C-alpha cells in the first residue's frame, strides 16, 4: 500500500509539474530501463522566467538561458524510491546533425531531487535525447534511456 501511495504522489507531482507549465510545455515522457523509471520533462524558458526573482528556479543552473529546461527524475521501479545519488549526462542530437553533451545538475523541486539544465531547442525538427544514468549506489550500473522531442515550430 505504501508503494501505491508513492506512485500516486509521483503521478500527481508530474501532473502538477506539467499542468503548471501546460501552455508552453514542450514534452514529458517516461521510460523504464533496468528497473529504473526515468521521467523526462521539458519546460519552455518563458514559463520559468515568470517566477519572482527570489524563487529558487530562477537561480538554478546560473539562471534561465536557451529555450527549454530539461529535467530528468529517477525512481526505483519496484519501491518508488527517488534516486538522488546519480550522475546524469545527456547527449542531444539536433535536427541539423550536431550534438550537444552536458552533465545535468542535481536540483530540488518540492523537496524531491531531480537533474536538469537549460538547452536550446529552437530548430524545427526532431531532437534525439540520450540520457546516460550512473547511479552511485545500489545494484545498477550505467543505463541509457532514449527520448525524442519534436519541435513543430509553435
User: How do residues 56-85 score in pLDDT, each as one tens digit?
Assistant: 666 676 666 778 889 999 999 999 999 999
pLDDT digits (tens, 9 = 90+) for 40-50: 998 887 776 67
Pairwise pLDDT comparison (91 vs 24), residue with the higher score? 91
What DSSP string runs through 11-60? HHHHHHHHHHTGGGEEEEEEEEETTEEEEEEEEEHHHHTTS-TTSHHHHG
pLDDT of amino acid 136: 79
pLDDT band at residue 51 under the 50/70/90 scheme: low
| 2-151 belongs to CATH 2.40.50.100 | no
State percent of the chain over pLDDT 90. Answer: 49
Pairwise pLDDT comparison (49 vs 122), residue with the higher score? 122
pLDDT band at residue 141 under the 50/70/90 scheme: confident
Show me where the domains of the chain are located: 2-151
pLDDT of amino acid 148: 94
Whole-structure pTM value? 0.75
pLDDT of amino acid 112: 83
CA pair distance 128, 43, nearest whole angstrom: 17
Average per-residue pLDDT in the chain?
A: 79
Amino acid at each position: 500500500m505504501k508503494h501505491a501511495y508513492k506512485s500516486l504522489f509521483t503521478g500527481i507531482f508530474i501532473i502538477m509539474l506539467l499542468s503548471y507549465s501546460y501552455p508552453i510545455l514542450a514534452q514529458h515522457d517516461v521510460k523504464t530501463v533496468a528497473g529504473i523509471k526515468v521521467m523526462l520533462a521539458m519546460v519552455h524558458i518563458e514559463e520559468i522566467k515568470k517566477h519572482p526573482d527570489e524563487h529558487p528556479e530562477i537561480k538554478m543552473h546560473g539562471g534561465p538561458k536557451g529555450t527549454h529546461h530539461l529535467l530528468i527524475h529517477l525512481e526505483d521501479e519496484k519501491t518508488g524510491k527517488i534516486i538522488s545519488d546519480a550522475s546524469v549526462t545527456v547527449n542531444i542530437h539536433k535536427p541539423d546533425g550536431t550534438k550537444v553533451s552536458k552533465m545535468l545538475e542535481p536540483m530540488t523541486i518540492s523537496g524531491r531531487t531531480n537533474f536538469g539544465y537549460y538547452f536550446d531547442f529552437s530548430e524545427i525538427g526532431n531532437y534525439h535525447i540520450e540520457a546516460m544514468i550512473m547511479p552511485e549506489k545500489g545494484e545498477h550500473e550505467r543505463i541509457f534511456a532514449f527520448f525524442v522531442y519534436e519541435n513543430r515550430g509553435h
